């Protein structure tokens, strides 16, 4: 090892130019290595910054900060409602989906519609049964199976006795006609009840779908007249995102 050191010193020390070139070569290698490492680090930082920017939404011409973006996502998740859950709850119990969507003010409206249609259905059902019983009694009286003095006639609803039995005789055709109308009104009120129930489910589902929809002040709606051609004038609807 000592002999090798002596050989190297004997070769390099007399020749100062060779020693200087060797030092320059080693220094240039160190600088090149440092430059390569620096470039790699800069590229890695740029790649990370670009990936972060891709994940952040634009706000005008500036990027939102990571904190504000996280707050926006958290707020949107807090507003989000599952449409499937809202639909199931409204179908199971009217108004439950609206409570889930935080639209409690709609619950009285729904129950008002259900209550009115249900009340009409019950009232029409009562009148249908009254006309149905009166028709059977009138048919029996016409066929000499019953009489106006019998116990069955006494059970006929009081407002139906005079116009359909005693004043102008037995009016079986009139009773059947009113019975048919009562049946139609009863079916209509039942259809109205079911319609209100279905609309309650649809309303809850749509509200849940729109729960995370951005309704910020940046949205604007504008309706203005528009000239379609020389003879026709129409209306144009424009939605602007600021």
Residue 3's pLDDT is what?
44
Given a contact cutoff of 8 angstroms between Cβ atoms, the answer to whether 166 and 108 are in contact is no
Q: Token digits for 49?
A: 């910054």
How would residue 231 be classed by pLDDT, with cut points 50, 70 and 90? low
Residue 110's pLDDT is what?
96
Greater pLDDT, 78 or 109 = 109
Residue 168's pLDDT is what?
85
11 located within any domain: no
52 located within any domain: no
**What SS3 string covers the chain?**
CHHHHHHHHHHHCCCHHHHHHHHHHHHHHHHHHHHHHHHHHHHHHHHHHHHHHHHCCEECCEECCHHHHHHHHHHHHHHCCCHHHHHHHHHHCCCHHHHHCCCCCHHHHHHHHHHHHHHHHHHHHHHHHHHHHHHHHHHHHHCCCCCCCCHHHHCCCHHHHHHHHHCCCCCHHHHHHHHHHHHHHHHHHHHHHHHHHHHHHHHHHHHHHCCCCCCCCCEEEEEEEEECCCCCEEEEEEEEEC
What distance in Å separates the CA atoms of residue 81 and residue 3, rounded to the nearest whole number? Answer: 85
Residue 211's pLDDT is what?
77
Residues 6+ apart with CB under 8 A from 60: none
Domains of the chain: total: 1
37 located within any domain: no
What distance in Å separates the CA atoms of residue 204 and residue 123, rounded to the nearest whole number? Answer: 30
pLDDT at 25 over 60: no
What distance in Å separates the CA atoms of residue 228 and residue 212, rounded to the nearest whole number? Answer: 36
How would residue 80 be classed by pLDDT, with cut points 50, 70 and 90? confident
226 located within any domain: no
Mean pLDDT across the chain: 73
What distance in Å separates the CA atoms of residue 133 and residue 211, rounded to the nearest whole number? Answer: 53
139 located within any domain: yes
For tokens 């995370």, name the residue. Answer: 212
Residue 165's pLDDT is what?
92
pLDDT digits (tens, 9 = 90+) for 47-76: 444 444 454 454 444 444 455 545 554 555
What distance in Å separates the CA atoms of residue 164 and residue 99, rounded to the nearest whole number? Answer: 51
Residue 169's pLDDT is what?
87
Give the whole-number percent of the chain exceeding pLDDT 70.
Answer: 55
pLDDT at 31 over 90: no
Closest CA to 138 of 80, 193, 179, 99: 179
Residue 237's pLDDT is what?
57
100 located within any domain: no
Question: What average pLDDT does range 158-163 have in this prediction?
Answer: 93
Q: Token digits for 208?
A: 């849940």
Full residue range of the structural domain in which residue 167 is found: 106-210
């Amino acid at each position: 090892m000592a002999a090798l050191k002596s050989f190297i010193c004997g070769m390099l020390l007399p020749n100062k130019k060779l020693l200087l070139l060797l030092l320059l070569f080693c220094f240039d290698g160190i600088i090149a290595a440092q430059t390569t490492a620096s470039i790699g680090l800069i590229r890695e930082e740029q790649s990370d910054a670009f990936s972060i920017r891709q994940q952040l939404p634009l706000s005008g011409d500036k990027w939102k900060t990571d904190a504000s973006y996280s707050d926006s996502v958290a707020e949107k998740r807090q507003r989000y409602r599952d449409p499937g859950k809202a639909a199931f709850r409204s179908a199971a119990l009217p108004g439950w989906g609206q409570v889930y969507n935080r639209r409690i003010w709609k619950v009285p409206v729904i129950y008002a519609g259900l209550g009115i249609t249900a009340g009409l259905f019950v009232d029409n059902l009562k009148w249908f049964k009254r006309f149905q019983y009166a028709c059977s009694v009138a048919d029996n009286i016409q066929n000499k199976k019953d009489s106006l003095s019998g116990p069955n006639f006494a059970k006929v609803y009081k407002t139906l006795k005079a116009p359909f039995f005693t004043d102008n005789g037995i009016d079986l055709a009139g009773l059947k006609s009113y019975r048919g109308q009562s049946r139609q009104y009863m079916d209509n009120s039942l259809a109205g009840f079911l319609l209100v129930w279905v609309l309650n489910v649809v309303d809850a589902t749509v509200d849940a779908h729109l729960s995370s929809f951005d309704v910020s002040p940046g949205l604007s709606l504008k309706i203005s007249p528009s000239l379609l051609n020389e003879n026709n004038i129409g209306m144009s609807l424009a939605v602007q995102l600021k």
